[in-house]
Amino acid sequence: MTGGSLGEAPVPSGTTRIAGSPDGAFLYASKSFSPASTITVISTATNQDVGTITVGSGSHAAAVSPDGSRLYAVNRPDQTVSVVDTATRTVTATVPVGGTQPQEVTVSPDGREVYVTHNGGVTVIDAATNSTAVIPVTGAPATVAFAPDDTHAYVTNSASLGNPGLAVIDTATRTITGTVPLGGPTFALVVSPDGKRAYAARSLDKRLSDIDLDTLTVTDTIVFTGQRPQRLGLTPDARRLYVTRSSGGDGYSLSTIDTATNTIISNSDFNARIRDVAIGTPPTADLGLSLDAAPRPGVNGRIDYTVTATNNGPSSLTTATVTVDVPAGATSNGCQIDGTKATCTVTSLNPGASTTRQISVPVSALSLGTPYTVTATRTASTPTDTDAANDTAARTCTATTPLLINCD
């Protein structure tokens, strides 16, 4: 996609900001009111309003956790953040921010911490306990973007005078370890999926800075004419950068940038005001397999195999099929066996969770003294599995007699 509108979704009049769920299934549109604001939930499948969430006063920016389970909404006048359960669409906590004029909110890639910018610093919210700590940052911190491995957070600064540039925060020590001068106030910020580059919007002078995060230097500058850059969105493959632009009488547009050359390859004009970019990433779930073999010697000796399937995330597993090559005569209480193939089905597995299936092979089904290898293979799964390296597991056993069984 190089630009253009594929459709429109109605949002309430007065909507100030948009946030998207990581899987792209929902948009959350913030509408600022006092004493209470609302967030409209929009299904991207139907482009229809599917619910409303009431949050604090003057709701502004919002962000969704990587697993999509929580939404964090900044309430400017209240100087708080509303924590929303996206399943029930209710506020479960209201967290005070440790500074005035809270601006933007960003959730760390692992979902454990939430960074909120405000005058003179960044408040860090522990997502598990909602406890807070403040990292002092000179000026007017604007937007936070994280390194993919969570080791660093990068903070732009909108201060007009004495602007310190881009601040680099060590997330383990919560200290500033470096800065990148950017020549003036900066606002929106994105970091590439490999953590090597960042783009920072210098809205007032109509520029984007392309930053090398290894050397902490600006390597290129993209200059706009007319409308100012507002918000940024980078595709998961980092090939395209989307920039919302606006400026009074010049209207509103969406620019698409080829990041290989840093050239603008399209501009799409809009009649309505646009400000945010939300790019969803299709969910993935890496299902890893392991296989154990336990000899059971005896007059009716057998080998008990245990297939363990573990969801390594990042998303929940909906369903998966694991096939196991077995000799005729094998039995199982959790898999369907047809001749020499066992088919095992796995459903509804959360990230980090495991499930097991057992298969028993009688020694009488084996050729005595000949090694026999049983192999388990993931043959299908939803959502997409991104790592084929752990899709198979095998064990080799040799039965000399029903009383003597060895497994590697």
Look at the block and give the residue holding tokens 């190089």.
2
For domain 285-407, the CATH superfamily is: ntegrin, alpha v. Chain A, domain 3 (2.60.40.1510)
Strand-pair category, 132-136 with 217-223? unpaired
Residue 2 is predicted with a pLDDT of: 45
Which residues, other chains included, contact 356 with Cβ-Cβ below 8 Å and sequence gap of 6+? 306, 307, 308, 309, 334
Can you tell me the distance from the alpha carbon of 81 to that of 101, in angstroms, rounded to the nearest whole number? Answer: 12
Sign of CA dihedral 168, 169, 172, 175: positive
pLDDT range class, residue 86, cuts 50, 70, 90: very high
Is a pLDDT exceeding 70 seen at residue 285? yes
Residue 71 is predicted with a pLDDT of: 97
- The closest alpha carbon to 241, from 193, 169, 179, 185, belongs to 193
Can you tell me the distance from the alpha carbon of 290 to that of 271, in angstroms, rounded to the nearest whole number? Answer: 56
Residue 1 is predicted with a pLDDT of: 43
| Residues 39-77 pLDDT 10s | 999 998 898 999 999 998 888 899 999 888 999 999 998
C-alpha 278: how far from chain center: 12
Is a pLDDT exceeding 70 seen at residue 5? no
Residue 370 is predicted with a pLDDT of: 94
Sign of CA dihedral 20, 26, 27, 29: negative
Look at the block and give the residue holding tokens 């043959």.
379
Sign of CA dihedral 131, 149, 18, 271: positive
Across all residues in the chain, what is the average pLDDT? 91
CB atoms within 10 A of CB 1: 9
C-alpha 322: how far from chain center: 27
| Residues 113-153 pLDDT 10s | 999 999 999 999 999 999 999 999 999 999 999 999 999 99
Can you tell me the distance from the alpha carbon of 233 to that of 333, in angstroms, rounded to the nearest whole number? Answer: 49
Q: What angle do CA 389, 390, 392 make, to 5 degrees?
A: 105
Calculate the alpha carbon distances from 242 to 16, 74, 89, 266 in Å: 19, 24, 29, 10
Region for residue 322 given its phi and psi (left: phi exceeds 0; alpha: psi -120 to 50; beta: otherwise): beta
- The architecture of the domain spanning 15-270 is 7 Propeller (2.130)
CB atoms within 10 A of CB 8: 9
Query: Which residues on neighbouring strands pair with residue 41, listed in sequence order?
Result: 28, 51
What are the DSSP calls for 384-405, one per residue? B---GGGSEEEEEEEEEETTEE
| Residues 393-408 pLDDT 10s | 999 999 999 999 999 8
Which residues, other chains included, contact 231 with Cβ-Cβ below 8 Å and sequence gap of 6+? 188, 201, 243, 244, 275, 276, 277
Residue ranges of domains in the chain: 15-270, 285-407
- Which one has a higher pLDDT value, 46 or 12? 46
The pair of three-digit structure tokens given for residue 303, joined into one six-digit string: 């080998």
